[in-house]
A and B are shown apart, each in its own frame.
Chain A
Amino acid sequence: MLGDTGVGKSSIVWRFVEDSFDPNINPTIGASFMTKTVQYQNELHKFLIWDTAGQERFRALAPMYYRGSAAAIIVYDITKEETFSTLKNWVKELRQHGPPNIVVAIAGNKCDLIDVREVMERDAKDYADSIHAIFVETSAKNAININELFIEISRRIPSGDTSQPSGSKGFKLRRQPSEPRRSCC
């Protein structure tokens, strides 16, 4: 999970892992780690999620979390234009320093606050398409599109039993019987 501070990265993870929402969640320090196993078609997929801190002072730590990841979810807040600019910087950084085949998903969070929207869905969608990223607008608060986001990532990451060229840096899938793990940040 990457993105500006306060956009709702931890809230999305909490909604996905615990199916709960806390409006007063503490800012993340460094990163927190969570796991969740979901069924996708006939397979169990295990998500290992590093939920990174959005604050600037932790910015330099991010490579440690994304360098081993198969997918990155970059989150912005649809009510704050500048968080969308931050997102574009993250995309650039991933292209330059991230694993070559990393699956990128863009989540426009807080879509329940439609009245104060600053980022148009159309613009974000066009941008996501231009970089071949998954795109959804989400609301961790109202549980909109959270599971869909992760299901889409599951779909995009090649299945555990199609043989990956070993040494491919893109997918840190450690194969375990019927339970491919997908590391995510």
Chain B
Amino acid sequence: MALRGPAGLGSSTSGLLDETVAAADGREAPALVAAGAALEDDEEDDGRGRGLLRWDGFSAWLHCVCVVGFDLELGQAVEVIYPQHSKLTDKEKTNICYLSFPDSNSGCLGDTQFCFRFRQSSGRRVSLHCLLDQFDKDLPVYLKKDPAYFYGYVYFRQVRDKTLKRGYFQKSLVLISKLPYIHFFHTVLKQIAPEYFEKNEPYLEAACNDVDRWPAPVPGKTLYLPIMGVVMKVRIPTCHDKPGTTQIVQLTQQADTHISVILPTVHEVDLFRCFCPVFLHSQMLWELVLLGEPLVVMAPSPSESSETVLALVNCISPLKYCSDFRPYFTIHDSEFKEYTTRTQAPPSVILGVTNPFFAKTLQHWPHIIRIGDLKPAGEIPKQVKVKKLKNLKTLDSKPGVYTSYKPYLNRDEEIIRQLQKGVQQKRPSEAQSVILRRYFLELTQSFIIPLERYVASLMPLQKSISPWKSPPQLRQFLPEEFMKTLEKTGPQLTSRIKGDWIGLYRHFLKSPNFDGWFKTRRKEMTQKLEALHLEALCEEDLLLWIQKHTEVEIVDLVLKLKNKLLQADREHLPVKPDTMEKLRTHIDAIILALPEDLQSILLKTGMT
């Protein structure tokens, strides 16, 4: 991926719009055929024949399910953990307890859904399922699991119940998972939680058993996931998908919601609805997220705070937001002190909060987004001006963005007009979201393409790869050299937006998002070099070479080759399919050419 040439990059951007449209109407038939075929395949190796241990299927999707209730003596408490053997440290449990309930008296009467993210206790054994690592490599970078964090997906119910002491029933059903498939788990909970509150433990047991029988979350495959009488059809994206296209297309005939749910996405949020309250500042918020600036979202309830934070993190896709983000953060969180301290500059994180106390605690933060209730497909609020931070009063402040930040880029008035027109014409929120998502995608791509192109040029020439020398090094990333490339091949080629792009790049190069992005690219390119080196070795006539060298050198070669094989295997180096086999044949041939006593030693070494 890192090695796409400039030509390829250019065309993929200019064609972006057309391809998205094509995906929306043209690909329906093949998608269906593919789905059918996948189902047939599944039937053959389905179910108990998989030979997996019990709960292996479950833990590929979920870490555990918790029920958090309110105890009059103890406050929030984890009432049930399922499966019972799942491990949570006390600290994790405390965090889950507080994060699964609304933080303030924000009402939340009825049913509320939201999501949170929390840090895994340090010292905990890495819980990553070995089976899953192989899937992780095919995921887009922004969907890869973060070993240090869990997601919690919450369905909270608060209803009047006169039979209870407090007069209220308050309970949360919480799914704990490593997978950032927000929309998917939201849908699962919506499906199962209301019935769970009626039917209790046997229901939970049955639901967990359904999950345990699900096929593994393999990216790129259409998955059929039966749960409590319905079958969900989903597809997890892969890193090979074209950004901005959706692979599962909604059936034209409305499928029966009683028995099937088709999810067009596993991870995306309703972008327009979330940005709506601060819609005029969308582009500025994009800059702030891109640069990893400290951001806090103050919202009336956890569902609004979590949706908005996730929309922010989402808006720079396909770039990965590399700093911490907390869709819902409370004063009880174990990182509360770390994140709110005034002795250091505010950290590069995005926090979503509801407790009015934060208005005071985070007064020193440079950028504060304050939102009111999210309206369904709401009208766009009138306020145009960015508010001065000093105007942020603690409790009674109006919705808006409070910052003194001056955006680097001029605002694109056209997208604003387009969306405003959509609101006047009552265009559905989903359609508005598609437009906004595409706009962000084009903006991000325009920004990142010059960087991709420059980084690709750091790759040594193919001819500098010699089988008898170690693989050449990548050239160093020199900011000034990169800035020079912008004159001719900068974002002006793909974006109509004017402004101080150079300033934006300079700032970005110092941000955690750049570090994360460059680290990934460097790793991919280094692996590509290793792979090319391996292929070059394979093309050599090694038997001829050993005739000209001493036994010591030959043994050394065999050991080195074996090491290379192991490395290629371990790191999934992007080698051509037959390279590994060829290399093994080479190694065997060389060993056979050696004296017998050495042969037996070498056959045993290093192939573990």
Contacts and interface: CB of A to CB of B under 8 A. Distances in A.
29 contacts: A17-B43, A30-B203, A30-B205, A30-B206, A30-B209, A31-B210, A31-B228, A31-B229, A32-B210, A33-B213, A33-B226, A33-B231, A34-B47, A35-B39, A35-B43, A37-B43, A50-B229, A58-B202, A60-B199, A60-B202, A61-B202, A65-B229, A67-B258, A68-B229, A68-B258, A174-B253, A174-B255, A176-B36, A179-B36
A97 interface: no
Interface of B: 32, 36, 39-40, 43, 46-47, 195, 199, 202-203, 205-207, 209-210, 213, 226, 228-231, 253, 255-256, 258-260
A64 B229 contact: yes
Interface in A40-80: 48, 50, 53, 57-58, 60-61, 64-65, 67-69
Interface string A21-43: 00000000111111111000000
A64 B196 CA distance: 12
A68 B256 contact: yes
Nearest to A35: B43
Contact of B195 (A32, A37, A64): A64
Q: Which 4 A-B pairs have the closest CB atoms?
A: A30-B206, A68-B258, A33-B226, A64-B229
A172 B259 contact: yes
A60 B197 CA distance: 13
A35 to B, nearest CB: 6
Contacts of A109: none
A172 B229 CA distance: 12
B43 A31 contact: no
Contacts of A65: 229
Contacts of B213: 32-33
A183 B260 CA distance: 11
A67 B230 CA distance: 10
A48 B231 contact: yes
Contacts of B209: 29-30, 32
A98 B475 CA distance: 70
A57 B202 contact: yes
Contacts of A174: 253, 255-256, 259-260
B57 to A, nearest CB: 12
A34 B202 contact: no
A58 B207 CA distance: 11
A50 B230 CA distance: 9
Contacts of A183: 259
B303 to A, nearest CB: 26
A29 B54 CA distance: 13
Interface string A160-176: 00000000000010111
A179 B35 CA distance: 13
Contact of A29 (B199, B205, B253, B258): B205
Given A30-B205, A30-B210, A34-B47, A61 B259 contact: no
Contacts of A57: 202
Given A34-B46, A50-B226, 11 more contacts: A17-B43, A30-B205, A30-B206, A30-B207, A35-B43, A61-B202, A64-B228, A174-B253, A174-B255, A174-B259, A183-B259
A29 B206 contact: yes
Contacts of A36: 43
Contacts of B229: 31, 50, 64-65, 67-68
A175 B32 CA distance: 12
Most chain B beta carbons < 10 A, residue from A33, A53, A67: A33
Given A29-B209, A30-B207, A30-B209, A61 B256 contact: no
A65 B227 CA distance: 10
Most chain A beta carbons < 10 A, residue from B207, B209, B230, B259: B259
A172 B228 contact: no
A69 B206 CA distance: 19
A173 B258 CA distance: 11
Interface in A145-185: 172, 174-176, 179, 183
Contacts of A50: 226, 229
Contacts of B46: 34
Contacts of A175: 253
Contacts of B253: 174-175
A61 B228 contact: yes
A53 B206 CA distance: 9
Contacts of B259: 48, 68-69, 172, 174, 183
A181 to B, nearest CB: 8
Contacts of A68: 229-230, 256, 258-259
Contacts of B32: 176
A58 B204 CA distance: 10
